[in-house]
Amino acid sequence: MTDGSDDALDAEAIDRLVREATGWRVADAVPAETGTDAVWLLDLDPRGSPDPAAPDRAVLKYATFVDDERFRVEPSLLRLVGRETDVPVPSVYTEGRDDGTPYVVLEHRTGETREGGMRSLPPAVQRGVAADAGRHLAAIHDRRTFDAPGTFARDGEDGLRVAEPFDDWPAMFAALVEGHADGFGERFAALADRVAAAAADPPTALAGATPVLVHDDYRLGNLLIDPDAAASPVGTVLDWGAAMAAPAGFDLAKTEDYLCHHAPLDAPLRERVRTALESAYRRRRGGLPDRYGERREPYLLSSRAAACEWFDLWYADAGDDERERIAERHRTALRRLL
């Protein structure tokens, strides 16, 4: 998955933007290797800054993919999570608009990104990543409850509100899954109608679920990890732009699916991830989300449908044979979950 950094701003424009926003001078700006919005890793020039406390490095994120209002939610969430939880997130140095386009300058954090690479990590580190995920999700799920589910928008200077709230969670769940099915490409077209039909008649178990603050995109590509720190490898949780008001169990099941990289439902890797994730979540929050056993598989269906919708973007760099092998795993899992 590639970002839009190369086409968004040149080096001179990046230096101008950062200097006007912070007073810091940019010595070098390297585009991030993954992402959807444009992101640059910045080396700052201490000789050009009047601020003795200026950092050596920073990150510039510039809206090129997410719509402007959704992009502006992330800085507010980073401040909220950093202030109210122990979940490790980058500090927000400043935010603003550049000729109308939103941007944010963030703290640079160290660590490795292993998008889709859980299998390359030793089992002890896999369990550590999943346990960190359980603790982090439990922490943010306890921060806020909402009267209705929906996506977020900025409310005033730094607040959040649910934008265009749904009547209830089953209605939002149906809209999410139907939207994923509508986005299926040719590889998954034969299953689109069945997925949409399942979404249109969601299980009765979904009724009554309480919307809380969820990350909705907790995966290896949005984490900075230290593979040598097996007990707690996750050093930073990135990319809060997909966060929304939804049930805690939805976030937990989706994270399981993402961290095991959509492994088969009976795969040892999935069981290892699920056990560590749920155990840590249970210890931190005092139990799993209400009726999680009944709701987990519908939530896994939604996660798998999302993977099919975004397949071409997520696997753009894979070879044809590898893409087809992954697509067949998705099709098999969808048939089992339907």
- Point out which residues pair with 237 in neighbouring strands: 223
* pLDDT tens for each residue of 167-203: 999 999 999 999 999 999 999 999 999 999 999 999 9
CA–CA gap between residue 19 and residue 25 (Å, rounded): 5
The average pLDDT across 100-127 equals 92
* pLDDT tens for each residue of 90-112: 999 999 999 999 999 999 999 99
Q: State residue 11 phi and psi, 5-degree precision.
A: -60, -40
CA–CA gap between residue 207 and residue 118 (Å, rounded): 34
Is 0.75 topped by the overall pTM? yes
CA–CA gap between residue 140 and residue 83 (Å, rounded): 11
Q: Domain 8-107 belongs to what architecture?
A: 2-Layer Sandwich (3.30)
Contact 32, 58 (CB under 8 A): no
CATH 3.30.200.20 residue window(s) in the chain:
8-107
Residue 7 binned pLDDT confidence (cut-offs 50, 70, 90): low
CATH number of this structure's domain 118-337, picked from the four choices 3.90.420.10, 3.40.50.150, 3.90.1200.10, 1.10.3720.10? 3.90.1200.10
